[in-house]
Structure 1
Amino acid sequence: MIKGNPDTAVEEESVGHRVRAARNAAGLTLEQVSRRIGVSPATLSLIERDKVSVTVERLTNLAQVFGIELDDLMSGTGTPAAGGAQFDNGRDETLPKVLEAAIECFTKWGYHGTSMRQIAQAADVSVAGVYHYYESKQQMLVAILDSTMEGLIEGLEGAREKVADRPPEERFAAVVEALAYYHASSQNKAFIGASEMRSIEEPHRTRIAGLRRSVQYMIDDEAAAAAEAGVFTVPDLKFACRLVANMCTSLAQWFDRAGPISAEDAAANIARYALAMMKVESAAR
């Protein structure tokens, strides 16, 4: 929703998606943009996921930060300013080429084992070209984890909304399936998110850890609702919910997309297994 003044509100489809696409095209992180427009990274993330209203004035400020016209931002036809990030159509077009190269290198050699020169070579740019977009490896790692959490939370919330009027066990299964699918289909980003949290510096570590907890809470909330309805009978609900989350996130480490099971089928299987786990009753002594 766009608000021109307190008395006028105009509905606009996918404004947040256009803001995020323009930010990624400009090669900017949530922190860089939020700092320039005077909001928190969390607020900007909500704007990009169409969870809050945004004023025309704020959209104008965002367009200026991205180096494009407001009309281009609103139409989704905006291009990055001169020197903006280029894209490789064979990769994830929602991320700058340099950031895709960093994902490739961090996955292969780890964060601490990767040099800026290796990222430059993978992106087919100069080392100076990498620094043109990102000031440090740390900034790239934060951008990767922000992108990971944005995509993950958006997917889970979307799956949850589609079954909002269904029984709690179906909502639980939908969230679990979405979590599993993300880790099976976006393995490199998910792998980095799991393995490199220790490398994130404050204040970003605390912020991203909070986003990770919010994913766990989605599972917990739906499981608690199903338990209250008498559908889930597992004796230790909290423990079981963490087992379920780990089943999903571990797909980033071992799932083979070239294998006999598709990412969709793997996610559906895990959702079924999770439901069965939640219906286990206390063993008789």
Structure 2
Amino acid sequence: MPGGAEREGGRGAQTERGIYDAAVRLIYERGYHGTSQRAIADAVGLQMSSLYHYFPSKQDLLVDIMTRSMRDLISAVEQAVAQAKSYGPEQRLRAAIQGHILFHTDRRQEAFILDSELRALEPPGRELVVKLRDQYEQIFAGILQQGMAEGVFQIPDRKIAVFMLMAMCTGVAIWYRPGGRLPLETVADIYTDLFLSGALVSGARPLLPGIGQDTSRSSSRERHGPPLT
């Protein structure tokens, strides 16, 4: 695990940050397995022995990138939700979605590694990152659960809804480019509105048969189809 910054003060912290940034860029471009420690050391102008001083293995580097990024993501979204704590679950969900999208577009390379290199992690690093990921998803699950308890959201499966939100919002970083037709905050609002259009109880249609409707009152034609004559 990284330790040079603690031992060497400011200069060590700068070197460690340089290693981190180079590793993020190279793993983003080449993938974890396509990136060698030699390439990372060369990118920072270090000897291999100096690289080992900060990160004894490439796996240590990957764990550091993913845990640091995951903790920063959790912090960013928690802060966004906290700013909307006096509002209802709809506005808190809007804040969470915007925080997620802003993080993934602002720190595109780290977010890409988070989403694509989990399979490259070995124990116990994998377990640590999975635990952080579960903690992050619980932010969204908690908002949805509260909205369901208050009768604001109509969601047939909360876990699937969280997975859908993660996949939908993470994808913005793939296609969004600054200076485009819409500012990022507007894109986040549109994504939120699209999700809420199916989740809000008021005027929402059930996503699955029998969810939110009384099928016992449906007509014979609705239950069995049109007459066969």
**Counterpart among 111, 118, 123 of residue 44 in structure 2:** 123
Cα deviation, residue 256, structure 1? 2.9
Aligned match for 2:192, one of 238, 256, 271: 271
Q: Which has the higher contact order (CA 8 A, sep 6+)?
A: 2
1:264/1:118 CA distance change after superposition, 3 Å: farther
Q: 1:282: which partner in 2? A: 206
Distance 2:181 2:49 in 1: 43
Query: Which sits farther off after the overlay, 243-252 or 134-143?
Result: 243-252
Contact 1:85 1:133 in 2 (8 A): no
Match of 1:163 among 84, 90, 101: 84
Distance 1:125 1:277, change over 3 A: farther
Correspondence 1:232 to 2:168: no
Residue of structure 1 in register with 2:6 after alignment: 66
CA contact (8 A) 2:198 2:205 kept: no
Q: Does 1:133 align with 2:61?
A: no
After TM superposition, list the pairs within 5 Å mapping 1:251-262 onto structure 2: 251-257=172-178, 259-262=180-183
Distance 1:187 1:168 in 2: 28
Conserved? CA contact 2:67–2:132, under 8 Å: no
Matched, 1:111 2:32: yes
Shift of 1:67: 4.3
2:12 aligned partner: 84
Change (3 A) 1:281 1:239: farther
Q: TM-score, normalised by structure 1?
A: 0.65
Q: Percent identity between the aligned chains?
A: 30
Match for 2:205: what amino acid? Answer: E
The normalised TM-score by structure 2 is 0.80
Give the count of matched residue pairs: 206
SS of 2:122 mapped into structure 1: coil
For 1:235 and 1:248, how far apart are their aligned partners in 2? 20
Aligned match for 2:71, one of 150, 155, 161: 150
Q: 1:239 to 1:184 in 2, by over 3 A?
A: same
Equivalent residues in 2 for 1:173-212, closer than 5 Å:
173-212=94-133
For residues 19-58 of structure 1, what are the structure 2 equivalents within 5 Å? 29=2
User: Which stretch has the larger CA shift, 224-233 or 110-119?
Assistant: 224-233
Whichever structure has more helix as a proportion of its residues is: 2
When residues 121 and 268 of structure 1 are mapped into structure 2, their CA distance, relative to the original with a 3 A threshold, is: farther
> 1:184 touches 1:257 (CA, 8 Å); kept in 2?
no
Q: Give the CA RMSD over aligned residues.
A: 2.4
List alignment gaps of at least 5 residues for structure 1. 1-27, 34-64, 69-78, 88-94
Question: Quick one: structure 1 residues 116 and 259, their matched pair in 2 at CA, closer, same or farther if it must change by over 3 Å?
Answer: farther
Residue 221 of structure 1 pairs with residue 149 of structure 2: no
Describe the superposition over 1:44-90 as per-residue Cα deviations: whole angstroms up to 9, x where unpaired: xxxxxxxxxxxxxxxxxxxxx8248xxxxxxxxxx43xx61426xxx
Q: Which has the larger radius of gyration?
A: 2
The answer for unaligned runs of 5 or more in structure 2 is 210-221, 223-229
